[in-house]
Chain A
Amino acid sequence: MSQATPGAQDVTLIDLLDRIIDHGVVLAGDVTLSVADVDLIYLGLRVLLAPVERLPELTSAGGRR
């Protein structure tokens, strides 16, 4: 099974960013930097995705289970 990328934007990069920034395990402890500075990351994200206006605002349709 391989990824399909028919769109102009690299879906793989978007999926990677979705995963790595929003998810992943976090150990409690003395975290000097953490993604507590989420705003900084989202700033970077917007720059990264700006050319095709992907994810301008991360609105939501809620979780469907």
Chain B
Amino acid sequence: MTTTATRPRTEANPPTERAGAGARGWYLYGITRSGPLAAVLAEADAGAELDAGGGPLELLELSGLAAVVRAVPLADFSPPVLGERLRDAAALEAMVRGHNAVTAVVHRRQAILPAKLGLVYADAGEVAAALAAVEHTLLRQLERVDGCDEWAVHLYADPALIRECIATGDPALRGLRAECASARPGRAFFLERELRDRLDAAAREALSALAQEAFDRLAACAVAGQANPVPGPAADPPGEVEILRAAFLVARDDAARFEAALAATADADAGLRCEQSGPWPPYSFTAGAEEEAGLTAEGGEEPHMRAEAGEEAL
């Protein structure tokens, strides 16, 4: 396999300005074990909508590991060009789906650590060197996700129903409510405010407990679980609040058990609804490798995502 020449890169000399019109980089899809994957890659390519100028899928192999890559024109991935593409929703969706299509095909055949979207390396040698540097961690991580699928789970609650359950079920609040109904207007105003505040607090607590209980029940059927930030109230479906957004790494042998746990979690009478998607390649379960090996985490957006942590949307 030919590689592009190594060039020093600095802020003053961004790669795209130095690279010739035909310069190519390596778009990384994921990391898997070396093996006879030609047929799998051909299958992935057969279903792929290739960008103009992209080469076929290839493996950059190093001892036991293989990076699944495609040669792409570097110019297509320069920040301004890519920025334009990513502003176009259809192009972003195509890029995301194309990335997943490749990792999913390999995932169905053997364990893969899918890469984050949009990683392009200028030099194949550097991919190999990076693989070598963390070889053992990656192999260990592949072992962990072997035979497993990732499932995405969203749990939604009906806050009105939950408040009503609390208001009628809690003797103190029931009494307070009755007092509100019979109190004179001036006093009723303060009592109603107290009732609302106490209901808010109790509902927050109840939703948090429901989310934790669901997470624990699902995690008990999974190799690993990860609770992700839930988006704010503006993203909630009407009349509902998303109380848990989580990813679970589930052994295929345990899929039925996990499904049963999902069914047990959705409880319409209690105002709980579940949505799930999968099976996914284990995108959410590659972080361990980064942390252990001190790889570039590229997690710059994390603080942004977690900036307003805290309040449960009610």
Chain A residues in the interface with B (C-beta under 8 A):
1, 3-7, 11-13, 15-38, 40-45, 47-48, 50, 53-65
User: Given the known A-B contacts A29-B121, A64-B211, A65-B227, are A40 and B286 also in contact in the complex, defined by CB atoms under 8 Å?
Assistant: no
Which B residues form the contact surface with A (CB < 8 A)? 6, 9, 15-16, 25, 28, 30-31, 67, 74, 77-79, 82-83, 85-89, 91-93, 96-97, 99-100, 113-123, 126-127, 129-131, 133-134, 138, 141, 150-152, 154, 208, 211-212, 215, 225-232, 234-235, 237, 243-245, 247, 255, 258-259, 262, 273-280, 283-284, 286-287, 289-290, 295-298, 300-301, 304-313
* Known contacts A29-B130, A34-B118, A41-B92; 19 further A-B pairs (Cβ under 8 A): A1-B278, A6-B273, A19-B152, A19-B283, A20-B96, A20-B283, A24-B115, A25-B141, A27-B295, A28-B295, A29-B127, A32-B15, A33-B82, A40-B79, A41-B117, A56-B234, A59-B229, A59-B232, A60-B229
| Also in contact, A15 and B152, with CB within 8 A (given A7-B275, A59-B232) | yes
State whether B122 touches A20 (Cβ < 8 A): no
**Chain B residue at minimum C-beta to C-beta distance from A26:** B298
Which residues of B have CB within 8 Å of A47? 87-89, 92
Find the A residue at minimum CB distance from B9: A30
Given A5-B275, A15-B152, A17-B96: A62 and B310 within 8 A (CB)? yes
Min Cβ gap A49→B in Å is 8
Going nearest first, the 3 A-B pairs with the smallest beta carbon separation are A60-B229, A24-B116, A19-B283
**A and B contact pairs by CB, cutoff 8 A, 30 listed:** A3-B278, A7-B275, A11-B152, A15-B152, A18-B152, A18-B228, A20-B96, A20-B100, A23-B116, A25-B286, A27-B296, A32-B78, A33-B118, A33-B119, A35-B116, A37-B79, A40-B83, A41-B86, A44-B87, A44-B92, A47-B92, A48-B92, A55-B231, A60-B230, A60-B308, A61-B230, A61-B309, A62-B229, A62-B306, A64-B208
Across-interface contacts of A62 in B (CB, < 8 A): 229, 306, 309-310
Q: Report yes or no: B296 in contact with A26, Cβ–Cβ below 8 A.
A: yes
Looking at A23, A38, A41, A45, the one whose CB has the most chain B CB atoms below 10 A away is A23
> A30 and B121: CB pair below 8 A?
yes
B83, B99, B127 pick with most chain A CB within 10 angstroms = B83
Report A-chain residues with C-beta under 8 Å of the C-beta of B258.
1
- State whether A64 touches B232 (Cβ < 8 A): no
